[in-house]
Structure 1
Amino acid sequence: MEKALSPSSFPQGTPLDHRYQGEHPVRTLAYLLRPDRARLAGAVAVFAVRHSPLWLLPLITANIIDVVVQQRPISELWWNAAVLASMFIVNYPSAVVYSRLMSTTIRRLSTTLRSALCRRMQELSIGYHSRVSSGVLHAKVVRDVDTIEESLKQTAEVGLGAVTTMLGGLIVIGIRAPAFLPIFLVVVPAAALLIRLLRGRLRGRNETFRKEIEVLSSRVTEMTSLIHITRAHGLENTAIHRVDGQLDRVRTAGFRLDLLNGRVSSLAWNVLNALGVCCLIGAALVAYYGWLPVTAGDVVMLSTFFTTLTASTTALMGLAPTMTRGLESVRSIGEVLQAPDLESNDGKREIAGVTGAVEFRRVGFTYEGSAEPSVSDLDLAVRPGETVALVGPSGAGKSTVLNLLIGFIRPTEGAILLDGIDTAGLDLRTYRRFLSVVPQESILFAGTIRENVAYGLPDEVDEDTLRTALQAANAWEFVSRLPEGVDTLVGQHGARLSGGQRQRLAIARALIRDPRVLILDEATSALDGRSESLVQEALGRLMSGRTVFVVAHRLSTIRNADRIMVLEGGRIRESGTHDELVALGGLYQQLQPGHAA
């Protein structure tokens, strides 16, 4: 059995080391296919054998006709039949070998590119990901690589077929009827170009039809997404009328395209066959009057080759759009593989442990393109095990502080110290092993509860450890009631669970990692009263003995913090405990409408 391909079997550095920007995509493809040079050469050789009947059959047919017409020895008939039979016999095994060689090469390339894209996306900075939508990156991993795959397949199948047929046919003509070779070299490309031009008229109508289909898709998507609003306001007929109008335009565009397609196809067929008949008559006249040494078999061969070579030339010309799409996808992938906005950790100090002391020293940060800093002159020293809450109006800089703390962005001024060490010199990947984040919307993937809670841990988690974490997160009470317990699938983004259940699983995930630094970003803001009570109790266990940074609007989440830092305009305006700040009667007091902070 053939060994399965896996990303780990590929040269990991190859796709990322190439200079994509400014490089012609053909050279890039040649570079990416370089490890499979021998396999590709073998595939081309096997394909030539597989495809040989297309250019040898007219010659064998000519030989058999001449045997009959000229009454040659019957043994020549059997020899030609044997050659023909052998070509058909080797066709199947050669087709299988070619498919294995070419498929292995193309699948290896696509898997390598997808692996490289995923690895590069993990290396790109959070700033890059905030600028480039996930949908665009998803399209590059799936659609662009798929386009390259299809382009290579079609170019290999159609292109090699056309090239081998043309070369084989021209060689046969050059040997059997050399006087006709110059005519073929001129007339065949001209005929193919004429047919190509006729079919080119369809491009505009195809484009029109495609655009109408895209508009229809947009209208249907819009209708389905707004169906609740449509029903609520009794606008069903309006929605149907919008779609029906677009359906009429699609029908009209499709009808016109079909009519033009019929006309062009008929015209192209007539032109090609008329030229073929001219070739047949011309060769017959040459043979009849003896102007050149041409046999009856040669007449049939030349007529057949004219049609075959014209079809091959037309097929080569028709590959241009497919090849263009594939090369454009190579450029598109190169934009990610050589994007310069990377989080650089190579060569920096790795850390094996964290106590949780964090210090901001006159930290400032200004986003690219912004005139005003989001954070400026931030001085904050946090002791191990201390809980610090960050509050302030929208745009005060709270999220920026958290992003600086996680290392998603680097300070443009000042420094952030972890246990007295400047984080600018640390490998942030090793630091984040000791950090956990519980966001407002917990992030779960479409796996089991076990897989989500133990996500990222190097070793398999035993049942007792898993259960302890779930119990501490107040999650065991609902997990134990599920039919499959911890092996229950949670659905895409945890869709089969409630918001409170998802949040408690996020807390269990943080607990099982035993972080030294904990970040709670609006961890209870989207929950109802019952869920908030359970989550708050679980958070209390999670926060114990750890350095905690809390961003929240609800008073219940922050009132017990050791310190509350009130931010405004990226600066700390007030600092103290809840009671101290309430007594101060300043900005903190103004931020509290009822029970909100």
Structure 2
Amino acid sequence: MQVYLRLLKYVKQYWSAFLLSVVGFVIYAGSQTASAKWLEAFVDSVGSGQLDNRGILALSVLGIFFVRGLGTFLGNYGLSYVARHVVHNLRCDLFRHLMLLPSSYYHQNSSGELLAKLTYNVEQVTGAATNALKVAIREGFTVIGLFGYMLYLNWKLTLLFLVVGPVVGVVVGIAARRMRGISRNVQQSVGDITSSASEAIKGYQVVRIFGATELETDRFIKVSQQNRRQVMKMVVTQSVATPFVQMMVAGVIALMTFLAMEPDLIKEMSTGQFIAFISAAALMAKPVRSLTEISSMIQSGLAASESVFEVVDTAPEKDNGTFAPDRVEGALVFRNMSFRYEADAKLALDNINLDIKSGETVALVGKSGSGKSTLAGLLPRFYDVTEGEILLDDHNIQDYKLANLRSQIALVNQQVILFNGTIADNIAYGAMAGCSREKIEAAAEAAHVAEFVRHLPEGLDTMVGENGVLLSGGQRQRIAIARAILKDAPILILDEATSALDTESERHIQDALENVMQGRTTLVIAHRLSTIESADRILVMDSGRIIEQGNHAELLQKGGVYANLHSLQFSEAAVVTETEQMTGQEPEQ
């Protein structure tokens, strides 16, 4: 009931359209009762020989159907208006909240499951919020009208209908409980279908090159089969309950027919009233059946509502800070800072103590899983520290307003995310959408985007496709760098920012980045040590700890982990260069 009442709040704000639909359905229900009354008048007129009434009776048919059509239009339009607004508002609320949820939520829930909630589940909600109300109001008023008319004709026979009421309620209740559970399973299976299809479609190249076409097809068939089974369980439950209720109603009508032909009862009713009574009883069968079927709509909608509200009720990112400077200097201090992703997991970062001066370039190196990206990800508060604190300009980053903190940081990471728009749109993305064309072009020039854009027919207005599928990896990386350049933030995070570039492009980008990094606090995460030799300080990380630090020359002189890594990479680079010279091949792109 709490879920349903919460759902009806979305309907409440459109009360005028909802009231219009109620009026329409009342008109529709009245026309059904008027049909039974017309039948009474018709039979009595024929039986009594009052044939002069034929004109009025003929016009009455047209009038009844006109009124019924008007009521149907008003009811359907009004409720459809409400339904689509409910879907729109609920979907927007869900999406708006998804944009505020912490990173951990996205790690624990697949994108396919979340997309299913945004699409399928929200549509199912309308079943409980509007479609069920439509049937309940339209058929409910129809039953009330016909029942009232039957009471007027013969109250003794009409009371037989009250006998079957409690039995119908028990049957519908049992079916409702089962359908709620099945509906949850159906919605889960839709999420599995979306997730399976999304992964296979996005990774189609990997699927084909590793011969996994049949594997992915079988996986999709399996989840689709599960969805089919769950839907059929719901169909079976509904298909058993509805005929059972219909048979009970039919039994009452049969008994009523038998008793109505009792000579003593017939004397109390005219022929027209008798036929109208039986007709009204027969007309009640369809609305009663429809009323029993709304249970499945309500249960599906409530299960979907619980799923949607579960997301909406998930606590968003903590944003209790009030400090919001226009622009920070960029001095960073990590003080006794530790972090773990989950409460019972091992520390991903262990007792980090680090001072970074404003404008300093600090490089983080180390093997995969050493904590480099985790450390950088704590600055924009994608996660909050477990122990200790991080200070930005002597203020704990928890004290900053979240939006303000992130406005001070530009990020270029290894997994470049582009959106389905033009190159210019992707450079001037988000809060930078209003930037002038000149600034966009300047950023494109600085990041060497202009180098390949000038060969495209539409230039900066070329569409990039979904996630930049129409561009090469190096081109996507340069666009991401141009985006960071345009933002002109005092703190810059480069997480493998040149990993997708060929040797020549990397040289140009390094030159551009060195200009961009001037006067900015920069964290550079790199595997290729040749890209960070000019950094003010290099931190070598292992198992979440800083095990060495110093500039390039100092660390080489120490002869420690960094020196070994550098020696190994230098040897590999020499072998590659020698091989290229011997074979006469161009450097690999």
404, 407, 415: which one aligns with 1:433: 407
Secondary structure in structure 2 of the residue aligned to 1:352: coil
Conserved? CA contact 2:24–2:73, under 8 Å: no
258, 273, 293: which one aligns with 1:282: 258
Kindly provide the amino acid, as one letter, of the partner of residue 177 in structure 1: N
1:31 partnered with 2:9: yes
TM-score by length of 1: 0.81
Q: 1:445 to 1:190 in 2, by over 3 A?
A: same
CA drift of 1:24 comes to 2.1
Secondary structure in structure 2 of the residue aligned to 1:348: coil
Kindly provide the amino acid, as one letter, of the partner of residue 112 in structure 1: N
370, 380, 383: which one aligns with 1:406: 380
Kindly provide the amino acid, as one letter, of the partner of residue 326 in structure 2: A
* Map 1:53-452 → 2, pairs under 5 A: 53-72=31-50, 74-75=52-53, 77-186=54-163, 275=251, 278=254, 281-282=257-258, 285-286=261-262, 291-345=266-320, 348-452=322-426
Q: Which runs of 5+ in 2 are unaligned?
A: 574-589
CA drift of 1:418 comes to 1.4
Give the Cα–Cα distance (whole angstroms) in 1 for the partners of residues 115 and 66 of structure 2. 45
Give the Cα–Cα distance (whole angstroms) in 1 for the partners of residues 431 and 132 of structure 2. 45
Q: 1:303 to 1:541 in 2, by over 3 A?
A: farther
Q: 1:225 to 1:118 in 2, by over 3 A?
A: closer
Conserved? CA contact 1:280–1:299, under 8 Å: no
CA drift of 1:521 comes to 0.7
Give the Cα–Cα distance (whole angstroms) in 1 for the partners of residues 198 and 366 of structure 2. 39
1:19-42 Cα distance to aligned partner (Å, 9 max, x none)? xxxx72122123333323343233
1:299-353 Cα distance to aligned partner (Å, 9 max, x none)? 32233233322222222112212211101111112112111253224x5111111
Q: 1:191 to 1:434 in 2, by over 3 A?
A: closer
Conserved? CA contact 2:453–2:460, under 8 Å: yes
1:453 partnered with 2:427: yes
1:566 partnered with 2:566: no
Q: Percent identity?
A: 31
Conserved? CA contact 2:157–2:260, under 8 Å: no
Secondary structure in structure 2 of the residue aligned to 1:27: helix
Give the Cα–Cα distance (whole angstroms) in 2 for the partners of residues 183 and 594 of structure 1. 91
Q: 1:570 to 1:322 in 2, by over 3 A?
A: same
Q: 1:476 to 1:153 in 2, by over 3 A?
A: same
Bigger shift: 52-61 or 501-510? Answer: 52-61
CA drift of 1:555 comes to 1.5
Q: 1:64 to 1:194 in 2, by over 3 A?
A: farther
Conserved? CA contact 2:349–2:544, under 8 Å: yes
Kindly provide the amino acid, as one letter, of the partner of residue 333 in structure 1: V
1:527-573 Cα distance to aligned partner (Å, 9 max, x none)? 44344344434433332332110111011221221100111232221
Bigger shift: 37-46 or 448-457? Answer: 37-46
Give the Cα–Cα distance (whole angstroms) in 1 for the partners of residues 182 and 305 of structure 2. 28
Conserved? CA contact 2:359–2:522, under 8 Å: yes
1:508 partnered with 2:482: yes
Conserved? CA contact 1:184–1:306, under 8 Å: no
Bigger shift: 535-544 or 332-341? Answer: 535-544
| RMSD over equivalenced CA pairs, Å | 4.4
1:548 partnered with 2:526: no
Give the Cα–Cα distance (whole angstroms) in 2 for the partners of residues 124 and 205 of structure 1. 28
Kindly provide the amino acid, as one letter, of the partner of residue 541 in structure 1: N
Give the Cα–Cα distance (whole angstroms) in 2 for the partners of residues 139 and 579 of structure 1. 54
Give the Cα–Cα distance (whole angstroms) in 2 for the partners of residues 241 and 353 of structure 1. 52
CA drift of 1:235 comes to 11
Give the Cα–Cα distance (whole angstroms) in 2 for the partners of residues 515 and 39 of structure 1. 49
Conserved? CA contact 1:363–1:377, under 8 Å: yes
Secondary structure in structure 1 of the residue aligned to 2:72: helix
Counterpart of 2:582? none
Number of residue equivalences = 563
Kindly provide the amino acid, as one letter, of the partner of residue 36 in structure 1: Y
Q: Which runs of 5+ in 1 are unaligned?
A: 1-22
Q: 1:293 to 1:195 in 2, by over 3 A?
A: farther
Secondary structure in structure 2 of the residue aligned to 1:406: coil
Q: 1:536 to 1:112 in 2, by over 3 A?
A: same
Give the Cα–Cα distance (whole angstroms) in 2 for the partners of residues 210 and 124 of structure 1. 22
Kindly provide the amino acid, as one letter, of the partner of residue 329 in structure 1: A
Secondary structure in structure 2 of the residue aligned to 1:123: coil
1:203-261 Cα distance to aligned partner (Å, 9 max, x none)? 9999999999999999999999999899889999x989989x99xx99x99xx99xx99
CA drift of 1:496 comes to 0.7
TM-score by length of 2: 0.82
Give the Cα–Cα distance (whole angstroms) in 1 for the partners of residues 173 and 369 of structure 2. 60
Q: 1:46 to 1:511 in 2, by over 3 A?
A: same
